Amino acid sequence: MSTAPAITICGHHAVAGRALFAPVALRIGAGEWTCLLGPSGIGKTTLMRLVAGLACAGRFVGEIATSDGKPVSGRASFMAQTDLLLPWLSVLENAVLGARLRGEAPDLPRARALLCRIGLGAHLQARPRALSGGMRQRVALARTLLEDRPIAFLDEPFSALDAQTRAAMQELAAESLAGKTVLLVTHDPAEAVRLGHQIVVLTAAGAHLYPVPPARTPRDAFAPDCVAAQAGLMAILRGQR
CATH number at residue 77: 3.40.50.300
Domain assignment present for residue 37? The answer is yes
Q: What is the pLDDT of residue 1?
A: 52
Q: What is the pLDDT of residue 57?
A: 81
Range of the domain at 223: 7-239
Domain assignment present for residue 1? The answer is no
SS3 19: strand
Q: What is the pLDDT of residue 240?
A: 64
Domain assignment present for residue 12? The answer is yes
Left (φ > 0), alpha (ψ -120 to 50) or beta: where does 86 sit?
Answer: beta
Residue 166 burial (C-beta neighbours within 10 Å; 0-12, 13-18, 19+): buried
Q: Give 56's pLDDT tier (boundaries 50, 70, 90).
A: confident
Domain assignment present for residue 169? The answer is yes
Domain assignment present for residue 122? The answer is yes
Q: Can you tell me the mean pLDDT for 36-45?
A: 91
Domain assignment present for residue 127? The answer is yes
Number of domains in the chain: 1
Q: What is the pLDDT of residue 2?
A: 63
Stronger pLDDT, 16 or 44, i.e. the higher one? 44
Cis peptide before 218 (omega within 30 of 0): yes
Residues paired with 178 in a beta bridge? none
Domain assignment present for residue 179? The answer is yes
**Res. 241: pLDDT tops 60:** no
Q: What is the pLDDT of residue 20?
A: 78
At 114-170, the pLDDT tens digits run 999 999 999 999 999 999 999 999 999 999 999 999 999 999 999 999 999 999 999
Going by DSSP bridges, is the β-strand pair 59-66/206-210 parallel, antiparallel, or unpaired?
unpaired
Domain assignment present for residue 2? The answer is no
At 191-207, the pLDDT tens digits run 999 999 999 999 888 89
**Res. 227: pLDDT tops 80:** yes
Report how far residue 101's alpha carbon sits from residue 91's, in angstroms, rounded to the nearest whole number.
16
Stronger pLDDT, 83 or 3, i.e. the higher one? 83
